Amino acid sequence: MGASVAPGEADSFGNVERYFSRGPVDVPPDAMWISVIGFYLTLPLNIFMIILGTCSDAVFRWIVSIAVASTQWGRPLCLAPIWWWYQPIGAARLICANKSRFTLFSESRKAMGGGDWWWHGQGAWNCPYEQVRATMASDQKRSPAFGAIKTCVPELFPAKNLLFIDGEEWRNVRGVLETNLTDEASWGPRVAQLKAVLAPLAPLPCTLDTLTKPTTDKMVATAVWFLLFGVTLSDAQAKTAASWGASGLAGVFVFPRLIQRIAFNLLLKKVRKLRVDTVNIVRAQGLAPLFEQLNAQLPPAYRRESALALCDEYMYAVNFAGVGGTQHGCWGTLQFLRRSTVDVPAKDIVYPEGSMAELYKASPRAFITEAVRLDAPVTSATCAFREEQTVDFNSSCCGKSSSHALMAGTLHQYVLSIANRDPAKFTAPNAFDPSRANLDDMVGWNGAISGGSKQYPRFCPGQKLSVTVIETICSFLDEVA
């Protein structure tokens, strides 16, 4: 085993203090500190406008119309008040939607005309199945953005995160990840030991009543790290890795820089600590040499300044996507076994008659896939338009949808969770039916399972691993034993 490195200590792996203390880049003028001061100086007016925009779709659309123009003009400081209102309104509307991303997206779409396109954050969103599938099959242009919002780099995300890069750099960096970690040939031999590794964490008896969310989250984190790296996390380490999910700090990642600064960067500091703590798990488990080897495998043009930088980038794939996504998928599966849900309103789902446990036992993987279709861990993803696009949505106070010419580079968010309910593709789309004939056409891992990585370049490289983890954890349940 290795040891964690003190913040100022440097070795062949990298200098933690220097790496995690770099200053912000690409700060839009309306998110500068002078804008934050202006927000607090006019706080009563801002609170009034936030409440008004949260409660009134007409006011919300008016604010959106100016936000669209501001985005196309580079978000000048003179239009900062629009963002003082617009970004908190987004957070407030999420709370009003019972913290359901699916409900927020659906309501935003409805408020802006209910068509194929709408605007949210700094980008245009769309959801018809065939359009979403075509986007996922394309060679997407990417930028440092998350949830159709330019995000905080490098404090929140590393600028070279796999989510943000494209072209040959993305192919090379992802290729090293797949070849060494996520390819089934690497982790498959460990599956036989997985249940024994997880057994100490499972409650006794293990039932749908006793298997709680915190326990499930730790089991997922332990399982992902064991399969990918062959190491067993301590209880404290499992809690840290589990904190990358929705029950931890995942909700912080979508907040833009203006919101982070309005909160005096307190949330950013929590994420920074999580990243440092995760790097220290890597070192404590003796995995630092692995990342030095992986960095050396990259072509010189794409090699990172240190193994630490590549480790930090890959930890987003392992923990934010691998652990966090699998946590949602696992808990969603358990919730459907209880006839409940995670992100989507349970009342919107049409459940089959009979025992859900028996339905699971008939085909665990089909049950898991249908659970992910209806309650997606990845509800949407961000790319950018390669060329100018014209889309239709309603951004007027009381009028109808109109055309909006959006310049190349404008963010484009494609919504998997709504695409999976497209009645043009899925018969009875709200019905929980693992036996549906085209189930593998669902777009739950940034592509359709029926096409996999051959058709979808950014198809999740850990899809099989994720399903294996969920199936293994569910196998502890007395109800499906």
Got the DSSP string for 414-457? EEHHHHTT-TTTSSSTTB--TT-TTGGG-B-SSSBTTTHHHH-T
Question: What Cα–Cα distance (Å) separates residue 343 from each residue in 60, 99, 295, 347, 422?
Answer: 24, 8, 37, 12, 18
**Residues 234, 212: Cα–Cα separation, whole Å:** 19
User: Per residue in 95-130, pLDDT tens?
Assistant: 888 889 999 999 999 999 999 999 999 999 999 999
Give residue 12's pLDDT: 86
**Residue 303 — left, alpha, or beta (φ > 0 → left; ψ -120 to 50 → alpha)?**
beta
Got the DSSP string for 332-369? HHHHHHTT--SSS-GGG-BPPSS-HHHHHHH-HHHHHH
- Which tokens go with 272? 């920074």
Give residue 98's pLDDT: 81
Q: Where are the domains of the chain?
A: 26-96, 127-480
User: Per residue in 280-310, pLDDT tens?
Assistant: 999 999 999 999 999 999 999 999 999 999 9
The average pLDDT across 10-38 equals 93
DSSP 141: B
Give residue 99's pLDDT: 84
The average pLDDT across 9-13 equals 69
Give residue 4's pLDDT: 47
The size of the chain, in residues, is 481
- Which tokens go with 333? 């599966």
> Residue 134: helix, strand or coil by DSSP?
helix
* Residue 117 and residue 127 in contact, taking contact as beta carbons nearer than 8 Å: no
- CA angle (199, 205, 210) in 5-degree steps: 95
- Which tokens go with 261? 């600064």
**Residues 176, 278: Cα–Cα separation, whole Å:** 20
- The total of other beta-carbon atoms located within 10 Å of residue 383's CB is 23
Is the model more confident about 8 or about 193?
193
**CB-hemisphere CA count at 13 Å for 176?**
23
**Residues 383, 381: Cα–Cα separation, whole Å:** 7
CATH fold for domain 127-480: Cytochrome p450 (1.10.630)
- CA angle (242, 244, 247) in 5-degree steps: 70
The chain-wide mean pLDDT, for the chain, equals: 95
Q: What stretch of H or E contains 371?
A: helix 364-374
> What is the Cα 59 distance to its own chain's centre?
29
